[in-house]
Amino acid sequence: MDQRRTWNPLQEQAEQLAAALPPLLAEAEKLAASVSLGVHGRRKAGMGETFWQFRRYAPEDPAAAIDWRQSAKSQHLFVREREWEAAQAVWFWRDASATMRFKSQLAETTKADRATLLALALGSLLLRGGERIGLFGHERPPSSGRATLRRIAHELMDSDDRALPPDVPVNRSAQIVWLSDFLGAPEEIERAMRRLSAAGALGNFVHIVDPAEEDFPFEGRTRFDALAGKESELFGRAESVRDAYRERFRAHAEAVANLARRFGWSYLAHRTDNSPQLALIALYAAIGGEAAQRIA
């Protein structure tokens, strides 16, 4: 019997992914540590110890919730509400389609790697704040603890090539961080948005862009080959279509932003030649309830 090891392409790919994982996690943790924004408050009613406000008593409130001292000051009954301090589930969805593997000479990383870095860095910050995080579409429920971050990193690096979030149940008021270049069919993206919003989920779009996609720096005879499929286009003078292309790209980006805002989701655009730190700060602020700005 031949005891020599046979070549297994899947095993080789798995070993390459495993080798890349520790540096990626280390980079994400370093990025998270550089932000150091602290724990963001959850200003909503619920179980907790911190007093938030008084409100009028409602028939469905238990009698034990009435604050008799405050009620004695007026003709109405009042309930003492406390600030909600329970951990909130935050789900990540990173587009793994072929276009996310693109990297031009103007960038140092692919769109997929930058999206993964931002997801893991944000996850690290949220875990430090006591949140629960999970990867959308996976069977494991959101959880806390540092082991969760390593598990999600493995799942992200070993994910399939799906672009859109799967049609699976989601808890109401869950936060979803959707990282993508949004180059898929607009109607399919909107369909997924409607489904998630109808379930009561809150969302955050992170639009990952390679600088060459936005600037179109190409000149002279240039061939463009599709990353997925066999489509190809040859231009004798690529610069001749630059203005038209840039206008079309701007319109596409604005359409994605408008789609997010129409459903009440935040929108953040990030170029892979820019610092991920600014994007992480804006995204973390958006998760905390503040409006994300296009500063990344």
Say yes or no: 182 and 67 in one domain.
Answer: no
Give the CATH number for residue 180: 3.40.50
Name the nearest CA neighbour of 112 among 164, 156, 148, 155.
156
CA distances, 72 to each of 2, 54, 77 (Å): 89, 13, 8
Q: Which residue has the higher pLDDT, 287 or 246?
A: 246
Is residue 8 included in any domain, yes or no? Answer: no
pLDDT score, position 46: 44
First to last CA, the chain: 59
Separation of alpha carbons 230 and 36, rounded Å: 45
Q: Do 208 and 265 fall into the same domain? A: yes
Same domain, 124 and 160: yes
In a domain, 32, yes or no: no
Average pLDDT on 157-182 reads 87
From 102, 94, 79, select the one nearest 138 (Cα to Cα).
94
The reply to whether 178 falls in a domain is: yes
DSSP 199-261: TT-EEEEEEEE-HHHHH----SSEEEE-SSSS-EEEESSGGGGHHHHHHHHHHHHHHHHHHHH
Under the banding of pLDDT at 50, 70 and 90, the label for residue 105 is very high
Cβ(266)–Cβ(279) under 8 Å?
no
Which of 5-19, 204-218, 278-292 is predicted with the least confidence, judged by mean pLDDT? 5-19
Same domain, residue pair 126 and 267: yes
Lowest mean pLDDT among 10-19, 136-145, 174-183: 10-19
Range of the domain at 57: 51-82
Taking 60 as the threshold, does the pLDDT of residue 51 lie above it? Answer: no
Positive or negative torsion for Cα 19, 23, 24, 29:
positive
Q: Same domain, yes or no, for 222 and 146? A: yes
Does some domain include residue 217?
Answer: yes
Q: Are residues 120 and 57 in the same domain?
A: no
Residue 4 domain-assigned (yes or no): no
d(CA 27, CA 113): 11
Same domain, 58 and 151: no
Q: How far is CA 128 from CA 55, 86, 168, in A?
A: 32, 14, 28
Q: How far is CA 119 from the centre of its chain?
A: 6
**String of b and e for 233-242 (b: at least 16 CB within 10 Å)?**
eeeeebeeee
d(CA 296, CA 292): 10
Mean pLDDT of 48-66: 67
Task: Give 66's strand partners.
Answer: 79
Same domain, 153 and 57: no
Q: Are residues 56 and 172 in the same domain?
A: no
Tell me if 22 is assigned to some domain: no
- pLDDT value of position 292: 36
CB count within 10 Å of CB 154 equals 15
The predicted model scores a pTM of 0.74
pLDDT band at 183 (very low <50, low <70, confident <90, very high): very high
Contact 192, 165 (CB under 8 A): yes
- If you search the block for the tokens 């009440």, which residue do you land on? 264
Q: How many domains, in total, are found in the chain?
A: 2
Q: Are residues 169 and 258 in the same domain?
A: yes
pLDDT tens digits along 231-283: 888 889 999 999 999 999 999 999 999 999 999 999 999 999 999 998 998 88
d(CA 71, CA 58): 13
* pLDDT tier, 64 (very low <50, low <70, confident <90, very high otherwise): confident
Backbone angles phi, psi at 160, to 5 degrees: -80, -165
pLDDT of res. 255: 95
Q: Do residues 10 and 43 touch, judged by C-beta distance below 8 A?
A: no
**How far apart, in whole angstroms, are the C-alpha atoms of residue 115 and residue 207?**
9
179 and 195 in a single domain? The answer is: yes
Two structure tokens written together for 265: 């989701």
Residues 183 and 59 in one domain: no
Tell me which of 34, 66, 82 is where a domain ends.
Answer: 82
> Is pLDDT of 123 > 70?
yes
Query: Given a cut of 50, is residue 10 above it in pLDDT?
Result: no
Running DSSP on this structure, what letter comes out for residue 174?
-
Residue scoring higher pLDDT (178 or 4) = 178
Query: Is 122 inside any structural domain?
Result: yes
